[in-house]
């Protein structure tokens, strides 16, 4: 309960030319954070190769070229990008949470990767519902990734961006007793109102979950914004929206948030504060009323094809049951 973890949230701009260039920035930031004693390092949403900012300011008819370029540079898991990050995590002895555009054959996904301090990939999860313009770019994830994992820094969960506005998704992680929550946002979007809403959201989750929140947002330079769109009016939509921050289970900002530019927010997380907060209010324990309110999760992977042969059995259809009249399938050993 008295264990202390040093965490770093990274605010950083991507290389809009290549995944290789962005990966180099990831590895440099990891080395920098580790040199300052960080044991956990969190990067922004879909940082490698870059967040699809183009989809927010370009109409669909003009997105084709940029979308295809993103597909070309996207990350295959496992692959060279994950191998490089795993090696760096192992070399520095740090836990890493990295957002990537994952390419799975013909589809892209908003994917969060969690590497343990020994370099092993503990979690690969996909954002369950892309937000607004993002639906033109990414497929939907499923609940198989709504997992809290045991890492070298403690029980760790992660959500991306507006998944924090899905109270049931957050509760799924709370129910698994996360001690540290990694939050990721794109940054450089919408304006100051996005940053203000983000701060409210991450501080509320810290309070409600009784956990630490380490939040990382991306950053675009003026030159990058101009490259994405030369329209001065639309450029306003690609500024602001940054609030890289670390929050305690009591909702306290443990360091001044970073709202512009690149840099690290570093803080020491005293895990004794988790018990201190939950003594007063444990949302999935003594403050819960599961006999009145509960969450049902279907955490099976959503697959396009399911073969009966995969079950090593056969299906037997039964007659409707007397209690609810529903027909059911029983799997019998073959």
Residues near 318 by Cβ (< 8 Å), separated by ≥ 6?
327, 328, 329, 330
Tell me if residue 178 is catalytic: no
C-alpha span between 45 and 50 (Å, rounded): 9
Tell me if residue 127 is catalytic: yes
Q: If we measure between CA atoms, which residue out of 182, 146, 159 comes closest to residue 40?
A: 182
Q: Name the catalytic one among 25, 73, 124, 127.
A: 127
Q: If we measure between CA atoms, which residue out of 164, 173, 124, 120 comes closest to residue 145?
A: 124
Residues near 260 by Cβ (< 8 Å), separated by ≥ 6?
219, 242
Q: Name the catalytic one among 45, 134, 163, 178.
A: 45
Q: Name the catalytic one among 124, 161, 163, 242.
A: 161
Tell me if residue 124 is catalytic: no
Q: If we measure between CA atoms, which residue out of 81, 80, 82, 49 comes closest to residue 67?
A: 49
Q: Vertex 197, ends 267 and 75: CA angle to 5°? A: 70
Q: If we measure between CA atoms, which residue out of 2, 5, 77 comes closest to residue 267?
A: 5
Residues near 135 by Cβ (< 8 Å), separated by ≥ 6?
none
* Catalytic center residues: 45, 127, 161
């Amino acid at each position: 309960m008295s264990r202390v973890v040093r965490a770093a949230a990274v605010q950083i701009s991507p290389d809009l030319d290549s995944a290789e260039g962005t990966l180099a920035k990831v590895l440099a930031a990891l080395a920098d954070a580790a040199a300052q004693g960080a044991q956990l390092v969190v990067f922004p949403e879909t940082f490698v190769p870059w967040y699809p900012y183009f989809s927010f300011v370009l109409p669909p008819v003009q997105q084709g070229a940029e979308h295809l370029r993103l597909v070309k540079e996207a990350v295959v898991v496992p692959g060279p990008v994950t191998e490089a990050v795993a090696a760096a995590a192992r070399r520095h002895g740090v836990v890493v949470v990295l957002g990537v555009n994952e390419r799975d054959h013909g589809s892209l996904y908003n994917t969060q990767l969690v590497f343990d301090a020994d370099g092993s990939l503990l979690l690969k999860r996909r954002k369950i519902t892309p937000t607004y313009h993002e639906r033109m770019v990414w497929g939907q994830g499923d609940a198989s990734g709504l997992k809290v994992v045991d890492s070298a820094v403690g029980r760790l969960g992660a959500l991306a961006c507006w998944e924090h506005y899905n109270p049931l998704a957050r509760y799924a992680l709370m129910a698994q007793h996360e001690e540290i929550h990694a939050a990721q946002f794109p940054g450089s979007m919408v304006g100051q109102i996005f940053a203000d809403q983000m701060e409210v959201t991450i501080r509320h989750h810290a309070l409600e979950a009784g956990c630490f929140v380490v939040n990382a947002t991306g950053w675009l330079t003026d030159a990058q914004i101009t490259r994405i769109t030369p329209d001065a009016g639309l450029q306003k939509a690609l500024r602001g929206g940054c609030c890289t921050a670390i929050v305690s289970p009591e909702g306290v900002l443990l360091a001044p948030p970073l709202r512009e530019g690149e840099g690290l927010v570093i803080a020491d997380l005293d895990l004794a504060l988790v018990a201190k907060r939950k003594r007063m209010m444990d949302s999935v324990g003594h403050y819960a009323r599961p006999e009145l309110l509960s969450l049902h999760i279907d955490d099976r992977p959503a697959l396009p094809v399911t073969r009966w042969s995969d079950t090593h059995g056969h299906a037997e259809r039964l007659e409707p049951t007397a209690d609810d009249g529903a027909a059911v399938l029983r799997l019998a050993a073959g």
